[in-house]
Structure 1
Amino acid sequence: MNYSYIIIDDDQESVLKTKAIADSFSELDFVASADNYEDGLNLILEHTPQLVFLEIDPANTASNLSLALINELYRYLKVIPKIIITTAGKDLAFEAIKYEVFDYLLKPLKRIDVVKSVLKLNKSIVPKEIVSEQTLVVDAEPTVLARQEIPNQDHSLILCIKSYGDYRYIAARDICYFQADNNSTDIYLNTGEMITAFKTLKHFEGVLSFPFIRIHNSYIVNRNYISRIHSGNSVCYIKNSAVKLPFSKSYKVNIDLIISDFSNGNYLEI
């Protein structure tokens, strides 16, 4: 899943550094930047990004950048963007917590800190999307994919592959990986079975979120089925199988996200 973002910072050098780090993540799409309170507010209201990198202790006090911007957003928006504070000092961290900011990163920004924020972002978005059980209906004919909500106590995501009146239901948790095949996609299950859907891999990348992660032009993998990552050979191993999926340099940042996600869990490195 991709997230649009805006940078609000009075220091142009900091804007460029933040953007350089953020642009290394395929999930993050830059919209615009602003160097003062008023322009920043207007950008957020106009573009409604999912993410805002915000400086709250500016060098130029005339910019009026502060946590007050968050209060102003509540006057106009029902859904407030995730706010990531980017500033040089720790002294405003406690006050920022009271504003329920998503994260607080110290300058100069480190890439690993943004990695952790993106992982947190992926995890925070998933529960909101799966409020009730959802069925993704994928026609075998090349038509538009539809999303339907079905009231049920089971909150797992279901994919439905539909073909001429034949409805095939797949629990997303049973999918190991997706493989591109021209304008169709092969879906590989933990049973060893393969099912073809007439949608592109990019289409699935757009409608699925964590733990499904794009690692190659031809592959999306379910992070929960990765048993091993070999950086030297640029391959991921799939649990309980002999399958090895290649990952490309252009998606190396997503591999870093997966490695970091493993280390943030109940984890022991030996």
Structure 2
Amino acid sequence: MNYSYIIIDDDQESVLKTRAMADSFSELAFIASANNYEEGLNLILEHTPQLIFLEIDPSNKKSNLSLMLINELHRYLKVIPKIIVTTSKKDLAYEAIQYEVSNYILKPLARIDFIKAVLKLKKSEGENVATLTNPHVLEERPAVMVQHLASAIEEPLILCIKSYGDHRYIDARDICYLQADNNSTDIHLNGGEMITAFKTLKHFEGVLLYPFVRIHNSYIVNSRYISRIHTGNAVCYIKNTTSKIPFSKSYKVNIDLIISEISNGNYLEI
């Protein structure tokens, strides 16, 4: 799922930094930014974004930016956008929690914090869909909605690789990793087969969500197929194969994310 977002911050340099960080995630779509309370409120009511990055301790007090903006939104909106506070003040975190913000990211912004925030949003959406498909909830929902939601959950992502009239269908769950080859991409499947798609690796980075993670300029890996990560040698091992995929320092934060996600599951460290 994609999330449209607005940035509300009185510091224009901070706005640019937040946008630069957010725009590196294909799931986040920028709408606009505001530098004060009134402009921010008007933007939210006009565009109804799904996500707001909000500074609550402005350097310019005349901007009136604070958590009170959230209270004002309740006067006009039935559904309040997800709020991610971005500020340098640690001591405002507890107060922000009382306003039920989605996340609290300290400045200077770090990419790993954005990764965690995006994953948390996805997890929240997944839980909402699960709630909607709960039989006790569905009693009051139209049958068409029930069918649509159940279908969305059950059906896997199918990639169609087209070439000169040939339509090749791939279940995304069968992809181990993708490797760049100039302006094309080699897709390696769990059965050992390799299929070439005439799209760049950057294209696939934009359309494939987690568990697909970019770990190198030349590689995107399906983290479900990682059996071993050797941080000293900077390589990942792929399950049931002899393949070793390198990762680069510039994507080390994504490797940390994979390690963190694996350890958050049914996990025992020996």
Taking structure 2 as the reference length, what is the TM-score of the superposition? 0.70
In structure 1, stretches of 5+ residues that fail to align are: 132-150
Deviates more, 1:198-207 or 1:21-30: 21-30
Give the superposition deviation at 1:8.
3.0
1:116·1:260 contact (CA, 8 Å) conserved in 2? no
Q: Distance in 1 between matches of 2:79 and 2:179?
A: 35
Q: Distance in 2 between matches of 1:228 and 1:17?
A: 39
Q: How does 1:1-270 map to 2 (within 5 A)?
A: 7-10=7-10, 12=11, 16=14, 19=17, 23=21, 26-27=24-25, 34-41=34-41, 51-56=51-56, 58=58, 61-70=61-70, 81-86=81-86, 87=89, 88-97=91-100, 101-105=101-105, 113-124=113-124, 154-270=154-270
2:8·2:15 contact (CA, 8 Å) conserved in 1? no
2:211·2:224 contact (CA, 8 Å) conserved in 1? yes
Does the residue aligned with 1:104 lie in a helix, a strand or coil? strand
Does the residue aligned with 1:199 lie in a helix, a strand or coil? coil
Alignment coverage as a number of residue pairs: 249
2:112·2:257 contact (CA, 8 Å) conserved in 1? no
1:18·1:109 contact (CA, 8 Å) conserved in 2? no
Q: Distance in 2 between matches of 1:128 and 1:158?
A: 23
The residue type paired with residue 104 of structure 1 is: Y
Higher normalized helix content (fraction of residues): 2
In structure 2, stretches of 5+ residues that fail to align are: 133-150
Cα shift readout 1:188-210 (whole Å, capped 9, x = no counterpart): 11111111111111111111111
Q: Distance in 2 between matches of 1:264 and 1:35?
A: 38
Taking structure 1 as the reference length, what is the TM-score of the superposition? 0.70
RMSD over aligned CA atoms reads 4.2
Q: Distance in 2 between matches of 1:114 and 1:53?
A: 11
Give the superposition deviation at 1:35.
4.0
Q: Distance in 1 between matches of 2:75 and 2:206?
A: 31
Q: Distance in 1 between matches of 2:180 and 2:79?
A: 35
Q: Distance in 1 between matches of 2:37 and 2:21?
A: 24
Give the superposition deviation at 1:81.
5.0
Q: Distance in 2 between matches of 1:37 and 1:209?
A: 34
The residue type paired with residue 162 of structure 2 is: K
- Give aligned-pair identity as a percent: 71
